[in-house]
Structure formats: C-alpha cells, structure tokens
Amino acid sequence: LNALHLAAASLDVRATGTIATGGSDLTADLAFGDLSVLGGPYGGSLTGRARLSGTPARATVTLDARGNGLAMGVAEVDNLLKGEATILAEADIAGNTADLRKLAINAASLDAVATGRIDPKGHDLQARLGFRDLRALGGGYRGSLTADAQFRGTPRQGGLTVSANGRGLAIGQAEADRLLAGDTRLAADLTLRDGLVKINTASLANPQLRADLRGTIEGANRRLTVDAAITNLATVLPQFPGRLTL
C-alpha cells in the first residue's frame, strides 16, 4: 500500500504499509478535527500515528497521539483532560482479548499508566494514577493524590483494590477539609457482585483522623461497620476539645 488518503469533514487519514495473509504491517497518521461528530458526549480534537502489525488472529497495535480539549461526558474526567493531553498505547490483540503492554495518559493535572489483560471472561488490570492538582476536578476539591489500583474479574463479578496517598486534600466542606489537612493514607478492598459493591475493608489515616470500614452483604441486606477516632474534636468543633472514638 503506497498511499491511502481518506478525508472527511472532521477526519483525515493517511496510511501506508504492507497487507499480507502471513502478516500485515500498516502505519496510519490520524487527524480528528472534532470528535463531537462521534455523537454523545465526545469532544475535542486528536492527532496521532497508529501502527498495526500481524494477522487478523493475532496483531500488535500501537498509538502515539496528542489531544486537545478531550471530553467523554464525565465532568471530572473532562476537567482533568482540559488543554493538551498525550496518549501512548501498545497492545497485543488475539480474538476478544488484549494484552495491554502499556497505556499512558498525561495531561495538565493527570498522569496515568495502566497495564494488564482485557478479557470478557475476566480482566486483570493494574494502574498507577497521579493527580497533581485536584482543583482541576472542579467544585471544592484541592490537594494532590497518587494511587495504585488493581481490578480482577468482570464488572458483575470482580474485585478492586486501591491504595493511595494524598496531601492537602479538600472536598469543599470546611470541617472535613480540616480533618484531611496534611498527609493522608487511603486504602480500599472492594468486591463487585451482580451490580452491588461490597466494601470488604477500607481505611483512612492522617494525624487528625483514623477510620476503618468493613462491609457485609447478606441477601438484600447490606451492613457497614465503622471504627473511627478523631485525635482532637476541636479540629471541627472548637468548643469541644479532646479525643473522640466511634
């Protein structure tokens, strides 16, 4: 394939390469001028280079792209992707499964790297997230956060674990923000079961506050047990100094 040029109102594709039953090798330069033409909540523009090598049964796909003003209809995610963003991806695809060697997304306030296996029978994905300035989410959010997450299973039967470290966290509520001042450690172990989320364990700890949560699901009944302590209640109620345990 010496040259293939496809031009439309919001899309320009130029591809070259080799197509063969024993293994193809194609490279394409892509330019999406306006992603809103995809419909729904999508927006922004994207340019990049994609490469596919292999056969329909097993192939490797790479993408190196730059976006501007990307949006997918989730307000917080759209805020994080404002401005310029880079996307790097490499995956081995075989049938309905994909071995994600790397997916890296970098934006003004977000660094995200993911690896793992995407399989309808059961995913196994790991991700490291870095939020440099949570003010980008909008609302009253502030501070920075780094997190490691792992998901195994399917959305109906799966498990998610998260460990995170935050600094100067705030959610826009004065009393809560005072409790979250300084460095905060968070962890959660969740189970997804037929549309329900079970909190196996969750914890939050900083100099002002310690909280541990455990959950159970028995039929239609869900129970959450909380064990918490505030080092000095005056942090939120100045007229009531002293330690509070729940």
**pLDDT digits 0-9 by tens, 19-55:** 998 899 999 999 999 999 988 899 999 999 999 999 9
Tell me the pairing of strands 196-205 and 141-153. unpaired
Question: For the chain, how many helices (H) and strands (E)?
Answer: 2, 16
CB contact burial 194-230 (16+ within 10 A = b; e otherwise): eeeebbeebbbebebbbbebbbeeeeeeeeeeeeeeb
**pLDDT digits 0-9 by tens, 133-176:** 999 888 889 999 999 999 999 989 999 999 999 999 999 999 99
The predicted model scores a pTM of: 0.88
